[in-house]
């Protein structure tokens, strides 16, 4: 018996030795950015989100490689190495990179405050020149601020509006889109009874519950932040808003299972002509074109309905670029970003993905090329964005996972739990 014990001890010791050898080597892995600094040649690592194939069939990796190749021609001793990952896997992949301290030089698609809070990224002024900086749309640039300093560079933006099916509206005997919640409800009921289709598509599932919730909060004078800038998620207006949504979903005029429905599925259903109204962004246009069931002339775009009138402020979303300090390549990053923010690249990217440029000159040129996006572009100036707080990711994930329950549960306790996380999680 004793020899068995010793055998077991020997085996465990061998196993632990193997484990210790492996774990110690991994914990000293520093950032792998900026290798090859001999004789002035620098490699920058760019990690971004993959937005898909796009309407012109140019994938995001291809796009960035095009920029990198053109950039390399101009600055032969700077190479940009590109990798992207699709949006579903993006949060986990970025989290893994950060947790392993494998910081890329340039990261596209993440918000700045969490990294700024830990002093991991450069301020905006160090990574783009003054002329590029003054060309950015100020509204979005201000959102990258942490403690008064801007840390990120907005790369692409979009705003939200209300999309409705004009043909379905006339079939239901409705002449104009709704502007108040009461009208929205009655219009949805009319669509359901007269055409048998879903009146309003309400996506409170885990894909983007934070966006849909904010659009409704804004309609009742609420939002995620109070006027003083601190979290106020369970304010009286927000709870009233969610109570309204609960009764709206219960009335049967939305799609069944609104608490777990996702935006992508509802946009697909809308494009197939099965839903009358849905909150949308410009990215719905290629889906509608692809499905072919709703013609472009039947696609109506208008301001989102608020409680007592259309929203004057809508949700504006921006995907930012941040640059990590660990590689120490601020100068080269500045050259690359100044190059990438030229109109030519902003227009190419945003035309491909039906998003909106982040630069003023880009917006002007884009508006001239795409008059169908005029409603969205008007919304930019008055858009409200997600809170620029360091713990927003935590709060956002809890909203995504739990907001859907307001449809069947208690809005005040769900919003209360989210507010609890927001005020206690480190920020």
Partner 1 sequence: MSNIVTAGPATAGRTQDQPPGRRQRKYPRVRAILAPLPWIGPAIVLIGLVVIWPIVVMFQTSFQNITADGINIGSAGWRNFSGVLNNANLPGILLRTVIWVAVVVGATMLISLGLAQLFNQRFPGRTVVRWALIAPWAASVMMTALIFRWMLDPNNGAINILLHQLGIVHGFNTNQSAWLANPDSAMAWMIVVAVFVSVPFTTYVLLAGLQTIPGELYEAARVDGASLWETYRRITLPLLRPAFFIGLVINLMNVFNSFPIIWEMTQGGPGYETSTSTIFMYNLKAINVGQSAAMSIVNFAIVLVIVFAFLRMNRRTLQEAR
Query: Which of 86, 95, 138, 170 forms a contact with partner 1 (CB under 8 A)?
Result: 95
Among the listed residues 324, 323, 326, 301, the one whose alpha carbon sits nearest the alpha carbon of residue 314: 301
Contact segment (CB under 8 A) with partner 1 among 1-9, 121-129, 216-224, 283-291 equals 1-9
| Total residues at interface with partner 1 (CB under 8 A) | 58
Q: The sheet that has 316-323: what strands, in order across it?
A: 78-86, 42-50, 106-108, 316-323, 153-159, 356-357
* Residue 23 binds to partner 1 (criterion: CB under 8 A): yes
Q: Considering the complex, state which of residue 129 and residue 421 has its C-beta at the smaller distance from partner 1.
A: 421
User: Is 120 near partner 1 (CB under 8 A)?
Assistant: yes
Contact (CB, 8 A) for 140 and 321: no
Nearer to partner 1, 34 or 273 (CB): 273
- By CB under 8 A, residue 91 contacts partner 1: yes
Nearer to partner 1, 256 or 309 (CB): 256
What Å distances lie between residue 373 and 139, 284, 348, 419, CA to CA? 19, 11, 16, 35
Residue 18 found at the interface with partner 1 (CB under 8 A): yes
Among 37, 56, 118, 374, binds partner 1 (CB under 8 A): 118
Q: Is 3 in the site for partner 1 (CB under 8 A)?
A: yes
Instruction: State the residue for tokens 């379905």.
Output: 168
| Nearest alpha-carbon partner for 154 in 416, 410, 396, 386 | 386
What secondary structure, in 3-state letters, does 168-226 show? HHHHCCCCCCCCEHHHHHHHHHHHHHHHCCEEEECCCCCCCHHHHHHHHHHHCCCCCEC
Contact criterion met (CB below 8 Å) for 258 and 278: no
- Say whether residue 234 binds partner 1 (CB under 8 A): no
Q: How far apart are CA 376 and CA 88, in angstroms?
A: 25
The window from 37-45, 213-221, 285-293, 401-409 that contacts partner 1 (CB under 8 A) reads 401-409
Interaction between residue 426 and partner 1 (CB under 8 A):
yes
- Rounded to the nearest whole angstrom, what is the least distance from the CB of residue 98 to partner 1 in the complex? 4
Instruction: Name the residue among 115, 76, 37 with its Cα closest to residue 107.
Output: 115
- The residue ranges that bind partner 1 (CB under 8 A) are 2-3, 6-7, 10-11, 14-16, 18-19, 22-23, 91, 94-99, 110, 114-115, 118, 120, 198, 204-206, 252, 255-261, 269, 274, 390-391, 393-394, 397-398, 400-402, 404-405, 407-409, 414, 417, 421, 425-426
């Amino acid at each position: 018996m004793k020899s068995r014990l010793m055998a077991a001890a020997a085996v465990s010791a061998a196993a632990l030795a193997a484990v210790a050898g492996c774990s110690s080597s991994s914990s000293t892995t520093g950032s792998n950015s900026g290798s090859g600094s001999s004789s002035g040649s620098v490699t920058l690592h760019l990690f971004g989100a993959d937005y898909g194939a796009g309407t012109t069939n140019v994938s995001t990796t291809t796009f960035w490689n095009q920029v990198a190749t053109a950039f390399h021609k101009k600055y032969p001793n700077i190479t940009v190495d590109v990798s992207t990952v699709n949006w579903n896997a993006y949060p986990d992949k970025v989290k893994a990179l950060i947790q392993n301290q494998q910081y890329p030089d340039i990261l596209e698609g993440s918000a700045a405050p969490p990294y700024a809070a830990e002093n991991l990224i450069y301020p905006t002024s160090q990574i783009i020149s003054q002329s590029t900086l003054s060309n950015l749309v100020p509204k979005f640039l201000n959102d990258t601020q942490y403690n008064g300093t801007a840390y990120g560079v907005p790369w692409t933006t979009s705003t939200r509006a209300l999309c409705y099916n004009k043909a379905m509206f006339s079939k239901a005997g409705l002449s104009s889109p709704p502007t108040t919640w009461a009208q929205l409800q009655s219009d949805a009921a009319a669509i359901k009874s007269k055409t048998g289709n879903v009146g309003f598509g309400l996506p409170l599932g885990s894909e983007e519950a934070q966006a849909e919730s904010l659009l409704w909060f804004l309609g009742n004078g609420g939002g995620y932040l109070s006027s003083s800038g601190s979290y106020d998620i369970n304010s009286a207006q927000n709870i009233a808003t969610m109570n309204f949504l609960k009764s709206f979903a219960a009335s049967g005029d939305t799609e069944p299972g609104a608490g777990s429905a996702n935006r992508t599925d509802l946009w697909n259903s809308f494009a197939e002509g099965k839903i009358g109204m849905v909150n949308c962004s410009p990215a719905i246009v290629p889906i509608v074109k692809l499905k072919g069931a709703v013609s472009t002339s039947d696609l109506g775009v208008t301001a989102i309905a608020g409680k007592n009138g259309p929203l004057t402020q809508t949700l504006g979303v921006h995907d930012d670029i941040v640059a990590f300090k660990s590689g120490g390549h601020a100068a080269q990053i500045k050259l690359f970003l100044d190059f990438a923010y030229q109109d030519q690249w902003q227009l190419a990217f945003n035309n491909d993905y039906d998003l909106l440029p982040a630069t003023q000159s880009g917006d002007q040129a884009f508006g001239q090329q795409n008059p169908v996006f005029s409603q969205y572009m008007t919304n930019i100036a008055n858009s409200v964005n997600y809170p620029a707080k360091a713990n927003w990711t935590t709060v956002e994930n809890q909203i995504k996972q739990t907001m859907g329950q307001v449809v069947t549960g208690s809005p005040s306790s769900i919003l209360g739990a989210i507010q609890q996380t927001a005020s206690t999680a480190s920020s």
